[in-house]
Chains A and B, each alone.
Chain A
């Protein structure tokens, strides 16, 4: 097993139906698992035949999300994010 892939959620703020929560945008986490391709809700919501996008579970630390306000920085939050909302962060 290699190191988990690190990713940053895009800090996009377009209007419309979006499933990447605001509180995760711009935050860095690591891929917890890959869930495979799913129809893109951003297209389904408007009645279109949607393209399929990879869906990934991303693990964030509470410290990353909330900084000094975190109850316990080592606690974890996991969410499903579509690939087009994620930028890979290359290991140094």
Chain B
């Protein structure tokens, strides 16, 4: 069965624009699950439950969403203390100001400081602020991260290259219900003259999950 993510021997020249291998798709023998997807989609369209245009639009929206949306929110919070206050008070409403449509997203933004470091997980499934950050990375959905980060966050963060001193309190946020979380990383030193667009480039997806910090490039 074609379940091995590591077997990309047929597609070594086929890296995506983000530099990751594509999953087997068009050029491989169709699987049972792909067959089901086509059959379900066609039945739903024929019965008037959904339209082909809605599917296309939803996939395109998925492709448009990326960590750049979240980075824009963080950069605004860095330069505008009043916006940051509104973001921390009511994340869902605050992101509307930047033209990010929350949709079903109910957002809590949590701020890293010199005394507190926040990190986000969903131990029960893989809840993630997709409207702000796009689809979650594979590791966010897998057993190792979900199991370990609530018990040994410092060890897990060190595996991501982040060593936190004892003076910093770690706060782990388990997305167990209806809220989704955005970590507002600390603004790096030496960025005083930078504008919002340049600042947003310093904010990685991982920094907004809380497994990294924002760094001056």
B151–A75 CB distance below 8 A? no
A-B pairs with beta carbons under 8 A, tally: 67
**How far, in Å, is B190 (CB) from chain A's closest CB?**
29
Name A79's closest neighbour in chain B (CB-CB): B174
Chain B residues with CB under 8 Å of A77's CB are 150, 171-174
Name B116's closest neighbour in chain A (CB-CB): A76
Supposing A71-B153, A72-B154, A72-B166 touch, asked if A21 and B176 sit within 8 A by C-beta, the answer is: yes
Supposing A21-B124, A72-B170, A75-B170 touch, asked if A66 and B151 sit within 8 A by C-beta, the answer is: yes
For window 149-174 of chain B, which residues contact chain A by CB distance below 8 Å?
150-155, 166, 169-174
B151–A69 CB distance below 8 A? yes
Name B108's closest neighbour in chain A (CB-CB): A57
Interface size class of A (residues with CB under 8 A): 20 to 34
A76–B150 CB distance below 8 A? no
CA–CA, A72 and B117, complex, Å? 13
Total number of B residues with any Cβ neighbor in A under 8 Å: 21
**How far, in Å, is A13 (CB) from chain B's closest CB?**
15
B171–A80 CB distance below 8 A? no
The 8 A CB mask of B8-48 against A (1 = contact, 0 = none) is: 00000000000000000000000000000000000000000
A75–B169 CB distance below 8 A? yes
Supposing A69-B151, A71-B153, A71-B155 touch, asked if A76 and B177 sit within 8 A by C-beta, the answer is: no
A41 within 8 A of B: yes
Chain A residues with CB under 8 Å of B178's CB are 35, 38, 55, 80
**How far, in Å, is A23 (CB) from chain B's closest CB?**
7
Name A59's closest neighbour in chain B (CB-CB): B171
Name A38's closest neighbour in chain B (CB-CB): B178
Chain B residues with CB under 8 Å of A65's CB are 150-151
A38–B177 CB distance below 8 A? yes
Supposing A66-B151, A71-B152 touch, asked if A78 and B174 sit within 8 A by C-beta, the answer is: yes
CA–CA, A69 and B178, complex, Å? 30
B123 within 8 A of A: yes
Known: A77-B173, A80-B178. 6 other contacts (CB 8 A): A35-B178, A71-B152, A72-B166, A75-B171, A76-B171, A82-B177
Seen from chain A, the residues whose Cβ lies within 8 Å of a Cβ on chain B are 19-21, 23, 35, 38, 41, 55, 57, 62, 65-66, 69-72, 74-82
For this complex, 13 residue pairs linking A to B, each with C-beta atoms less than 8 Å apart, are A19-B176, A35-B106, A55-B177, A57-B179, A62-B170, A66-B151, A70-B151, A76-B170, A76-B171, A76-B172, A77-B173, A77-B174, A79-B176
Seen from chain B, the residues whose Cβ lies within 8 Å of a Cβ on chain A are 106, 123-124, 150-155, 166, 169-179
